[in-house]
Amino acid sequence: GGVKTPINNQEMEITKKEETLLLTISNCSYRDEQGYSEFCNDDVKTKSRAGILSSLIKKGLVFDSYMNNDGSKSIINGSELSMYVITENGIDSLQNAGHKVESFI
C-alpha cells in the first residue's frame, strides 16, 4: 500500500509509484524560484508515467506551471510544453511519508 497523507484535512493515499514520481519531481523543482522545475514533458515518455503524473495533478500534489489560465497548454514552436512542479501539498505528502524534502523558501 501507499502512504496516507492528510491533504485539506482529508486522508489521501498516494501509491508507491506516485511517491517515487513525486520525489523525482520534487528533486527537479527549484525551491527559490517557485514555479520552475527541470521536470518537463520530455520526462514523461511512457503512458504509465503519464497516468501517474495525471493522478498527482488531480490530487493537487503537482502542477503544470506552463498551463495557461484558461487551462490550455502552452504551445512553443508548434509543440505543447509542460513544466511540472511540486506543490506545498506535494512537499507535505513526501514529508509525511518520511522523506527529507525542503519546503519552498
Read off the pTM. 0.84
Q: How far apart (Å, rounded) are the C-alpha atoms in residues 22 and 61?
A: 8
* Alpha helices in 1-105, H assignment, sequence order: 16-28, 47-58, 88-96
pLDDT band (50, 70, 90) for residue 33: confident
Contact 87, 62 (CB under 8 A): yes
Is the model more confident about 51 or about 104? 51
How confident is the model at residue 104, as a pLDDT?
A: 84
- The model's pLDDT over 78-96, given as tens digits with 9 standing for 90+, comes to 988 999 999 999 999 999 9
> Would strands 84-86 and 74-76 be described as parallel, antiparallel, or unpaired?
unpaired
Q: How far apart (Å, rounded) are the C-alpha atoms in residues 9 and 30?
A: 27
Residue 13 forms beta bridges with which residues? 4
